[in-house]
Structure 1
Amino acid sequence: MKLHLTAVFLCVAAWIACLSATSGPTSSCCLMVTDTRVHPKNIVDYKLQTSGLCPVQAVVLQTRKGKVICSEPEKEWVKRAMQKVDKEKARRKKAATCKLTKKMKTLIAVFLCLAALLLFTGLGQATGPVASCCLKTTKTRVNVTLLSRYYMQKSGMCPVEAVVFTTMKGITICSSPTSLWAKKAMAHLNAKGRTYPTTAITTPGPTTEDLPLTQNSTDKAV
């Protein structure tokens, strides 16, 4: 008799172990369905209970207050409640997706800005600052003692050949290399060692075109 009871006990234990290994921990089951009815707006979640491990087939509804209602799947109000829960879950999922998409767009925009900044920084380090060019020459003349330096602009990267003078006040004068005044001014500055042999890489200052100067042969104080 004792041997028989031991065998039954072992069989039951093995069956429970098999259920735990294959299906995981068993959830609570509705043993029966009820006629309890609530408004669908008070239902926050549900799950379908099949009649495999549980005794009946049912829809397990969860209310806002945490109560559980076991209802028949074919009830119309139960179907409406499930549809309401499904719509809310879809809406929350869509909102979460949109929020994630906005974050991704923001991160992408920040990344592109950083990449552009690094690119331009690299270009600046590789090529140096951009040279300012005289687009045309003028006949403006000033007293050569008011000039601080000059450099020769070649017609490679710039549109014209010119002598670019800078006055004591930082004003730029673009003159023709063949101008007698330009030659005189260069000779004056050469004597003082204030010259650059070729096109200089500079930060452009104001030019004579920005000032109300008349173009004539008399000397002007700039």
Structure 2
Amino acid sequence: MKLHAAAILVIFCLGIFTVHTVKGSVGSQSMRKYSCVNLSTQQLNIRNLIGYEMHRVPVQAVMFINTKGIRICVSPNQKWVQSAIRRIDRARTTRGK
């Protein structure tokens, strides 16, 4: 009888551990802090941009980050945007060497 009760207790504890593990892994997935809702129509100074992120939801956009940490969303279809992305990528690869 004691062995039977101990087995049930072990199974119960494993069940609780499994539920907490599954909940933790779902809750630990990161979500974006910022998303693009409005797009700027103004051309930015490419020399002041230090990073970018591609966004598809809720609108397709490129979010540029400037030297002051300000994030600005623009349409990815503009020629200057593609030039800015290439410049940032080049700067990242030269810093990594």
1:25 Cα offset (Å): 2.7
Measured on the aligned residues, the alpha-carbon RMSD in Å equals: 2.1
Structure ranking higher on relative contact order (CA contacts 8 Å, 6+ apart): 2
**Residue-pair matches, total:** 73
| Rounded Cα–Cα distance in structure 2 between residues aligned with 1:67 and 1:35 | 16
Structure number with bigger Rg: 1
Distance 1:36 1:22, change over 3 A: farther
Is residue 39 from structure 1 mapped to residue 45 from structure 2 by the alignment? yes
Aligned equivalents of 2:89, 2:27: Cα separation in 1:
29
Indicate the residue corresponding to 2:72 in structure 1. 69
The structure where helix makes up a greater share of residues is: 2
Tell me, in whole angstroms, the C-alpha distance in 1 between the residues paired with 2:62 and 2:45. 15
Residue 77 of structure 1 and its aligned partner are, at CA, apart by 1.0
Structure 2: how far apart are the matches of 1:63 and 1:91?
A: 19
Q: Which of the numbers 29, 35, 46 marks the counterpart of 2:35?
A: 29
Which residue number corresponds to residue 89 of structure 2? 86
Give the whole-Å Cα distance in 2 for the aligned partners of 1:82 and 1:23: 30
Partners in 2 of 1:59 and 1:21 — Cα distance? 27
Identical pairs, percent? 29
Q: What letter is aligned with 1:32? A: N
TM-score, normalising length: structure 2 = 0.67
- Equivalent residue runs for 1:1-222 within 5 Å: 21=26, 24-27=29-32, 28-50=34-56, 54-94=57-97
* TM norm structure 1: 0.31
Moved >6 Å (runs of 4+)? none
Aligned-residue offset at 1:36 = 2.5
C-alpha separation in 2, matches of 1:23 and 1:48 = 22
Answer yes or no: is the 8 Å Cα contact 1:44–1:64 preserved in 2. yes
Task: Give the deviation of 1:23 after TM superposition.
Answer: 8.5
Q: Provide the rounded CA distance (Å) in 1 between the counterparts of 2:84 and 2:27.
A: 32
